[in-house]
Amino acid sequence: MRFLNAGDSALVVEFGNEISEAINRTIKFVTDALDRANLQGVLDLTPTYRSILINFDPLRVPASSITDFVTKTLAAWSGSSGASGGEVIEIPVLYGGGMGPDLDFICKHTGLGSAEVIRRHSSIEYLIYMLGFTPGFAYLGGMPAELATPRLAKPRALIPAGSVGIAAAQTGIYPVESPGGWQLLGRTPLKIFNYERSDPFLLAAGSYLKFVPISGEEYEAIEKAENEGSYQPKRYRKAG
């Protein structure tokens, strides 16, 4: 672990030089501890793949107080807390067709049939390492290597919010309408980012996500309930 100044009102705490679930558990533990402590002067916490950015008011709290808190918190941690379990949120996805226009290309590239691509893609509880890029975009870990597919040669000018795609060894969801070059294999009717909610972000770093295949009829029903504000995605605790 090392501390880096990011100007006079932000501190970066680095926990390693690689992307790993072990480092992510440490980041989540320290982030949660800082959040619970509600230290005077700490304004915002941004967890990333291997670090935490801590924004603070230097007139209310010195950087040394934050570094002392983080150091003592980590020293007291056994390393087992949070090592297993964790919340999983289910994301319903309508695969293929107009919602997933690149599913056929993914099948051709991987040599797998569409049913098998969908089965493998939806069989994983993906760790949400961090949010970034666009509001609510989740960087996921754990996609099966055999599903890896290159980006589009020419990015699309506009991709609908909720689109689920693959780019190289990563998979993810476009939370807002935006340009992009990922290969699209489906779409969720859920609003991954919604500024009208008290918490606009549906997903959170350190939690898990599982895609669940649905039919066109189910998509329409969930979309209607989501627009009415009555849909609650299923959540459960990850086993072991």
Same domain (yes/no): 178, 107: yes
Based on the structure, what is the number of domains in the chain? 2
Same domain (yes/no): 168, 191: yes
Same domain (yes/no): 69, 107: no
Same domain (yes/no): 70, 117: no
* Domain contains 63: yes
* Domain contains 145: yes
User: For position 152, which CATH number holds?
Assistant: 2.40.100.10
* Domain contains 163: yes
Q: Which long-range contacts (CB under 8 A, 24 or more apart) does 110-115 make?
A: 110/146, 110/147, 110/148, 110/149, 112/146, 112/147
Whether the pLDDT of residue 80 is over 60: the answer is no
Note the pLDDT of residue 83: 44
Same domain (yes/no): 155, 202: yes
pTM for the whole thing? 0.87
Same domain (yes/no): 222, 116: yes
- CA 98 vs. chain centroid, Å, equals 25
* Domain contains 81: no
Q: pLDDT (tens digit, 9 = 90+) per residue, 94-129?
A: 999 999 999 999 999 999 999 999 999 999 999 999
Same domain (yes/no): 108, 197: yes
Which residue range(s) make up the domain with 30?
2-75
* Domain contains 112: yes
Same domain (yes/no): 112, 50: no
Going by pLDDT thresholds of 50, 70 and 90, the confidence category of residue 82 is very low
* Domain contains 137: yes
Whole-angstrom Cα distance, residue 24 to residue 4?
19
Whole-angstrom Cα distance, residue 233 to residue 118?
20
